[in-house]
Amino acid sequence: MKNLKLASLNGDNNRRTIVTVGNVKIGEDLVVIAGPCSVESEEQTVITAQKVKEAGANMLRGGAFKPRTSPYDFQGLGLKGLKILERARRETGLPVVTEVTDPRDVSWVCEYADVLQIGTRNMQNFSLLKEAGKVGKPVLLKRGMNSTLREWLNCAEYILAEGNPNVILCERGIRTFETYTRNTLDLSIVPSIREISHLPIIVDPSHGTGKVSLVEPMSLAAIAAGADGVMIEVHYHPHEALSDKDQAMSPVLFAGLMKRLQVLRSHMNEMRWDRERKSQEEA
Ligand code: PEP
Ligand code: MN
């Protein structure tokens, strides 16, 4: 694809970027990022973090800066939220993924985040992308809800072109005419990205569907489609969540999902092994 000098495979079909965060290798291991939509309190975040860790999650998510549709909705705790995330990381050892919404905040949010998230509404915020490209932290770049694959990869290119090679793509659903689900989770983007880019790609079925009942089936489908991981919203008391409560899993539901993800992963490993063996036999 034209102008994707750094984001595309450039003919090297075996090239894969691995983004290392703590002891997790995104692009190699199956990564599960879980936690609340928003950081609401120390108790809510730390307990949720402990629960997702017990269930086997590798990283903690939680928003301290929340880009909300209405200015009257809960906007996040800002710096106080980041300090709570720091506490949750200390208690659990889980690396933290958190969103940054303003280019002026990038350098200091890096002091608290292990991975900077750029959300769907900011995918084409070019000054934010450039700032994120100047720091060494890995960046989780969500797909814009109205964006094509080409537009999305061009945004990744902005970060790469500034010298930061650690970009993780995240499909989180796009706008279609369908209203039953919050968004339409475009899983065909996963193998499509694989065909043209070396960047790891994960899937967020929580925002992708908006419905807790659909999160498990779409998580499994994402892994079956070849995703490098999933990002799941989990809240210790989902009905009390200050944002996105309809899509939040309880810790019990999440633990069930983790068990089935592990089973699927071992099947996927076998299939990969089969594919490798076949290509060796053909060679
Ligand atoms: C989020 O993950 O917290 C979030 C706001 O997601 P998105 O940008 O995909 O809406
Ligand atoms: Mn959310």
pLDDT tens-digit map of 119-146: 999 999 999 999 999 998 999 999 999 9
CA–CA distance, 182 with 214 (Å, rounded to integer): 11
Closest ligand 1 atom to residue 63 Cα is 3
The length of the chain is 283
Ligand nearest to the CA of 68: 1
Ligand nearest to the CA of 244: 2
Looking at residue 86, its pLDDT comes to 98
Which of 60, 96, 142, 145 best tests ligand 1's pocket when mutated (most atoms within 8 Å of CB)? 142
Closest ligand 1 atom to residue 66 Cα is 5
The pTM of the full predicted model, rounded to 2 decimals, is 0.96
Looking at residue 274, its pLDDT comes to 67
Classify strands 19-21 and 115-118 as parallel, antiparallel or unpaired.
unpaired
How many angstroms does the Cα of residue 244 sit away from the middle of ligand 2?
A: 5
How many angstroms does the Cα of residue 37 sit away from the middle of ligand 2?
A: 4
CA–CA distance, 157 with 151 (Å, rounded to integer): 10
Phi, psi torsion values for 99, nearest 5 degrees: -85, 145
What residues are in contact with ligand 1 under a 6 Å CB criterion? 37, 63, 67, 99, 119-120, 142, 172, 207
Token pair in block for residue 269: 């490993």
Low-confidence ranges of the chain (pLDDT < 70): 273-280, 282-283
Ligand nearest to the CA of 61: 1
CA–CA distance, 261 with 224 (Å, rounded to integer): 10
